[in-house]
Amino acid sequence: MKRTIFTIRVVYKSGYTHDFDVYSFKVSGGNYQWEHVDDDNKPIILGADEVAALWQVGHREEVAA
């Protein structure tokens, strides 16, 4: 089964950026929801008031074993 993995970049008002991989990501009314790929690199709290921008900076296909 193939799944698409999206790389999301969070750009904070301070200029700091952080990339992480998700299977899905949704922003609705200032609320963020995602299904992360890697348990070792996932936001716990995004600090929504400090986020300047969210970018999808890549995607790839994953083939499940």
Q: Each residue of 28-58: pLDDT tens digit?
A: 887 888 999 988 887 777 778 888 999 999 9
Q: Which domain holds residue 53?
A: 2-63
Distance CA 51, CA 16 (A): 10
Q: Quote the mean pLDDT of the chain.
A: 89
Give residue 65's pLDDT band: very low, low, confident or very high (50, 70, 90). low
User: What's the number of domains the chain is made of?
Assistant: 1
CA 45 to each of CA 13, 31, 33, 36: distance values in angstroms, whole numbers, following the listed order = 15, 11, 11, 13
**Percent of the chain whose predicted confidence (pLDDT) is above 90:** 54
Global model pTM greater than 0.85: no
Q: Where are the beta strands (DSSP E) in 1-65?
A: 2-12, 17-28, 31-36, 51-63
CA 44 to each of CA 32, 34, 60: distance values in angstroms, whole numbers, following the listed order = 11, 11, 23
Which of residues 64 and 21 earns the better pLDDT score? Answer: 21
Contact 20, 8 (CB under 8 A): yes
